[in-house]
Chains A and B, each alone.
Chain A
């Protein structure tokens, strides 16, 4: 069967695994977007910028404070989440009663401003960040760097934890209830505005976490987020806007599809996700895991 595809099975397994690694980033990022959209109804276009801030946060922690990668993994998402919460409190909050479009425009504008500031300060070509887990394992069919293995595991664990928290815990049920009927939930004595602020901070923190994970693997540059964010939006649309499980499954799934495209027809690897998006939108407009409202 593998001969039919024209490449040896070893290479195919290798590419599948690489797809999963890229999928891990898509999943983490689209998860944050899905949480924010699902609970706040805000299309967070600043997500890419927040991912970039996470990566820069790791760089700054190392170079200004001497905090190594493992410390930055906690510190940087926390700081970026706090910045996110300040943005929610001061700006985003004023737009909830308006159409989605206003939130989109605001976050898009913020993303441009944040990127511009970082570019002005650090330049466009980016900064070096050392690999915290050098070396790797030879799996027979491919050489798997230790750090890439860590990315997949870390991302899977985080995704499952978030899914569990939102779908299976009491806190999650409050959150879901607050999005359906904020007035009723408030009447039960729950501080809904604070919950929304924390949720936004959490989603932003997830983006920053993905950014820290990306720092040793990719180039830490001001444009790293905008290169990725469009793909991630496509992932969210394919998975179904606001669907937590959809974001996770399509994130990993599309990573694999993209990985395979890189072997069979590399020229199309940057567009294949959008082709899939177009097809999904035609067949199932609410997305693979979404429910039409």
Chain B
């Protein structure tokens, strides 16, 4: 007993000693996302892995930083998300929160982050309001947003003759933002929106809404939803013969995991916009191989790649400032430093918090073209960084006017 006490005391003294000798900068990263529900595959534990991988690849320990990664499940509930964020910031000393899919939760966490002067790097959520009217000096939106999706898919579809649209929209912040941004692109390019229906999140059966879309006679049925909702609507659209009837589907937010779940037979030919695809460059493929080895053979989504890239850039800013404590200062530094990493290439973080990089228009392969699981996309067009995101002046972000 006495021996072990002495041993413990010695250990803790040794610990303090080391801390004094190297004086590492402590950084605590929190990955907050849906770990078990409908968005768990596109972010979830894979995003946590990506954050840890980024810390490792950055060589944080060698650069005098002591980085810890924690994670939690927000269950797609804004109240759960904010209370975890508050606990992390107030009690557990978390400096930065990452990922946070689900626009409703993301907007709430962004508010908390500003109040506590920490950092929020969003990869999973879509609403363009995060860098628009709800922008803050503490939030960066990394991977994609509703404006970029609408601009990519919407413009491409209208240009190829799909000029009348009916929207099937998820009834929360994200769906509303996606419908609004896409409708604007459609109208601006000479198209027309003939109707829309707002569907509660997590609806298993879309037949009724598909039937409404069918009777609207719109050429394009725009799916302003995500995850399981998109999967169910595409699956059932094929059952109801939407495409045979002369209408076309436009999936506005489709992740690699959704295509995996649908199968190519049902999803072939879909056009979609994404920020990142694993089978594009050698660096992407290397990251995907390592990801697959650690995650049961799955390939990473753009959200998980975005978490990796976001953590790298964050750590660069902390390294430059030698402290992670003042959130607004770290974000200002992140905006000052140009972004450059193996997955997203060179880019910048704009004044409104938008990370600027190219977006890509893909088409889903036919079953005969695919070499196996996760070989799903053909690149149709690259949308250059300058055109991929909403112009700075149009977002209505108060930070920009000042």
Assuming the A-B contacts A123-B41, A262-B209, are A221 and B215 also in contact, with contact meaning beta carbons closer than 8 angstroms in the complex? Answer: no
Q: Which A residues touch B209, using CB under 8 A?
A: 262, 266
Contact B205 A218 (CB under 8 A): yes
Q: Which of B200, B202, B214, B263 contacts A128 (CB 8 A)?
A: B263
Contact with A123, one of B40, B235, B239 (Cβ below 8 angstroms):
B40
Can you list 6 A-B contacts (CB < 8 A)? A15-B208, A125-B228, A125-B257, A263-B212, A266-B171, A270-B200
CB-CB contacts below 8 Å: A92-144 with B: 116, 119, 123-128, 130-131, 134-136, 142-143
Q: Which 3 pairs between the two chains have the least Cβ-Cβ distance?
A: A128-B263, A124-B40, A270-B200
Which residues of A are found within 8 Å of B207, using beta-carbon distances?
18, 21-22, 148
Q: Quick check: B298 and A128 within 8 Å, CB to CB?
A: no
Min CB–CB distance A47 → chain B (angstroms):
15
One of B171, B241, B261 near A126 (C-beta < 8 A): B261
Contact B37 A125 (CB under 8 A): no
Contact between B44 and A124, CB atoms less than 8 A apart: yes
Mark contacts of A181-223 with chain B using CB atoms, 8 A cut-off: 1 yes-contact digit, 0 otherwise.
0000000000000000000000000000000000011110101
A5 to chain B, nearest CB (A): 14
Residues of A within 8 Å of B385, CB to CB, are none
User: Which residue of chain B has its CB nearest to the CB of A136?
Assistant: B241
**How many whole Å from B293's CB to the nearest CB in chain A?**
16
Is A147 at the interface (CB under 8 A from chain B)? yes
A136 touches B240 (CB 8 A): yes
Find A131's partner among B197, B211, B239, B262 (CB 8 Å cutoff).
B239
Q: Which residues of B contact A227 (CB under 8 A)?
A: 202, 204
Q: Are A269 and B245 in contact (CB under 8 A)?
A: no
Residues facing A in B166-210 (CB within 8 A) are 171, 197-200, 202-205, 207-209
Tally of chain B residues near chain A (CB < 8 A): 44
A178 to chain B minimum Cβ distance, whole angstroms, is 36
Contact status B261-A127, CB under 8 Å: yes
| Chain B residues near A (Cβ < 8 Å) | 36-42, 44, 171, 197-200, 202-205, 207-209, 211-212, 214-215, 227-228, 231-232, 235-236, 238-241, 245, 257-258, 260-263, 265-266, 298
* CB-defined contacts of A3 to chain B, threshold 8 Å: none
- Cα–Cα, bound, A15→B209 (Å): 10
Chain A residues with CB below 8 A from B214, complex form = 143
Interface of A: prevailing SS: mixed
Chain A: CB-nearest residue to B260:
A125
Q: Which of A21, A119, A142 lies in contact with B40, CB distance below 8 A?
A: A119
* A219/B211 in contact, CB under 8 A: no
Minimum distance in angstroms from B296 CB to a CB of chain A: 8
Cβ of A83 to closest chain B Cβ, rounded Å:
23
- 13 additional contacts, CB 8 Å, given A130-B265, A135-B241? A15-B208, A124-B44, A125-B38, A130-B263, A143-B240, A145-B240, A145-B241, A218-B204, A218-B232, A219-B232, A219-B261, A270-B200, A271-B200
Q: Is A14 an interface residue (CB 8 A)?
A: yes
C-alpha spacing A217/B207, complex, angstroms = 10
A79 CB–B CB distance under 8 Å? no
Chain B residues contacting A221 (CB-CB under 8 Å) are 38, 228, 261
CA distance A126 to B240 in the complex (A): 21
Query: Given A217-B239, A266-B197, A126–B228 Cβ distance below 8 Å?
Result: yes
Q: Tell me whether A270 and B257 are in contact (CB under 8 A).
A: no
Contact call A143/B245, Cβ cutoff below 8 A: yes
Q: Are A224 and B197 in contact (CB under 8 A)?
A: no
CB distance from A62 to the nearest CB of B (A): 12
CB within 8 Å for A145 and B204 given contacts A15-B211, A221-B228, A266-B197: no
The reply to whether A124 and B240 contact each other, CB–CB distance below 8 Å, is no
Are B227 and A125 interface neighbours, CB within 8 A? yes
Q: Which residues on B sit within 8 Å (CB–CB) of A127? A: 261
Which residues of the partner chain B approach A287 to less than 8 Å between Cβ atoms?
none
Q: Report if A218-B200 is in contact (Cβ < 8 Å); known contacts: A119-B36, A124-B41, A125-B42.
A: no
Task: Check if A148 sits within 8 Å of B239, measured CB to CB.
Answer: yes
The minimal Cβ–Cβ distance linking B61 to chain A, given in whole angstroms, is 31
A259 to B209, CA, bound (A): 10
Contacts of A147 in B (CB 8 A): 239
